Amino acid sequence: MNYLSTRGGTAVSSAQAILRGLSPNGGLYVPEHIPEMPAGWLDPAASFTYQQLAASVLGLYFPELGAAELQDMCGQAYSGFPAEVTPFTQLDDRTCLLELYHGPTLAFKDIALQLLPRLIVRAAQLTGEKRTIHILTATSGDTGKAALEGFRDVDGTACTVFYPHGGVSDLQYRQMATSLGKNVQVVAVHGNFDDAQTGVKRLFSDPSFRARLDAAGRLPSSANSINIGRLVPQIVYYIYGYRYLRQANLLNTDGLMDICVPTGNFGDILAAWYAKHMGLPVGRLICASNCNRVLTDFFTTGVYDIRRPFHKTISPSMDILISSNLERLLFEVCGRDPETVKGWMTSLKEEGRFSLPGELLRKLQAEFDAGTADDGQTRTAIRDTFERSRVLVDPHTAVGLSVLEALRGGKTQKRATLVNATASPDKFVSDVSAALGLPATGKVFDDARALSARTSTPVPASIAALETMEIRHTTVSEPDQMGEAVMAFIGKEA
């Protein structure tokens, strides 16, 4: 299977696509065709583990990496997860949470980022790449820690994470700033997530920075969902989730399930789109945003417009205006025409907006619904879910639930919906406590203990430990100095 850049040029192998992360022309890699799902995967009589399914999905997209190797990698990657890698919690007779947050950093990013370092090391082996693969990643909070955990002390790799200074939650900050591992670096960037992400993309396409890295024996790569090696592992849980809904007898006679995804960079929901186009019986794809509602407006009007204020919300991992992975969907919807995609991306860069012809907008609307929940609605959803079902959800998941409820609008249409639960409520404990009406102490670990008492569930050990762990990373950078920060780290590391 070869990979094309959304902005044109020659195809590369899957190993090269994974190693590079982003195409040198600024485009994102997409598979040259979307593989079809074997019918056996949907057969209720067939039984397989999450790990086995993951190895099969990866085998369709990255056959070059080797079936036996992929099986080993999937087995190792999920060994620290519960036996049911993505447990299900049914909220009512048509709503099921898919809990994606049982990995080491308590957010769904672990599912891909426990696997990605292994894919990268294997890809380097196959291509004969001898340089150290240096991961450069921008994070709105959760990718950073998941990448730091995934790459920590992995031979042949290094990892630098850039996060918006003051733009992540207290626990997210502590998780990152206390990171261990001799090959990892954490840098706070003045600005918001988009500034950090744009800064990283600039480093990738800056020949002089690449030359300096090369001279230091390094090849830059990405752990953001712009890397196809991050996206494909996320396809797995939708197929797994469909099998669960069917076994639990939640599907209607049409056999379809809807999927509702709290969305930021558009990676997770794009993986659902891939699953659908591989043949998974999916009805609607519901794209839920917080009040940074660029995507909601886009799916409603066809105009993508980032000339608007950036809001800091209680769902910070979705505080994004430039949703990178949308470019992959745009590539597909316009009939895989790189020139058209380039036109839109140039317009986005130069004018802060682009607009889709009506006919293409209708094509998207035939698959996607979109909606927005502001912080007040998010808190209401947290409280309602706890009161109705005794289930605690984090603010990101609550955005999804709020949008889903609004879209259903009391209609009796009963299609079963899988709602991605993208982070543990323990990771956003102060906002969750406030939503439940618990008194705010302003101290995150006191809040965690109070919430734990209220819900009779223990504070996760990985959160409790943060209270006394040493802050090891204190570097702060301007957006135009991010490359210098990386070079300084390499100098120290060597």
Point out which residues bind ligand PLP (CB under 6 A).
107, 109, 142, 225, 262-268, 317-318, 396, 422-423
Residue 174 CB, shortest distance to ligand PLP, in Å, is 16
- 16 vs 172, which CB is nearer to ligand PLP? 172
- 157 vs 292, which CB is nearer to ligand PLP? 292
Closest by CA to 100, choosing from 477, 418, 407, is 418
Residue 282 CB, shortest distance to ligand PLP, in Å, is 17
The residue whose two tokens read 């995609």 is 341
Q: Taking the CA atoms of the chain, what radius of gyration do you get in angstroms?
A: 21
Per DSSP, 442 falls in state S
Residue 199 CB, shortest distance to ligand PLP, in Å, is 17
Residue 238 CB, shortest distance to ligand PLP, in Å, is 13
- 122 vs 396, which CB is nearer to ligand PLP? 396
Closest by CA to 380, choosing from 434, 335, 343, is 434
Residue 316 CB, shortest distance to ligand PLP, in Å, is 9
Three-state SS for 192?
coil
- 23 vs 422, which CB is nearer to ligand PLP? 422
Instruction: Compute the distance between CA of residue 229 and CA of residue 113 in angstroms, rounded to an integer.
Output: 9
CA atoms within 13 Å, Cβ hemisphere of 176? 31
Q: What angle do CA 142, 234, 321 make, to 5 degrees?
A: 50
- Cα separation values, 354 from 45, 331, 346, 347, 387, Å: 47, 14, 9, 6, 42
- 69 vs 394, which CB is nearer to ligand PLP? 394
Q: What angle do CA 40, 41, 45 make, to 5 degrees?
A: 70
- 69 vs 142, which CB is nearer to ligand PLP? 142
411 is catalytic: no
In the set 109, 145, 276, 427, the catalytic residue is 109
Neighbours of 360 (CB within 10 A): 16
Pairing of strands 303-305, 353-355: antiparallel
Q: What angle do CA 188, 194, 199 make, to 5 degrees?
A: 65
Residue 394 CB, shortest distance to ligand PLP, in Å, is 6
Handedness of CA 277, 278, 279, 285 (dihedral sign): negative
- 193 vs 240, which CB is nearer to ligand PLP? 193
Distance, CA of 223 to chain centre? 10
- Please answer whether residues 208 and 90 qualify as being in contact, where contact means their C-beta atoms are separated by less than 8 angstroms: no
Q: What angle do CA 37, 267, 337 make, to 5 degrees?
A: 75
Residue 428 CB, shortest distance to ligand PLP, in Å, is 8
- Give catalytic residue positions: 109
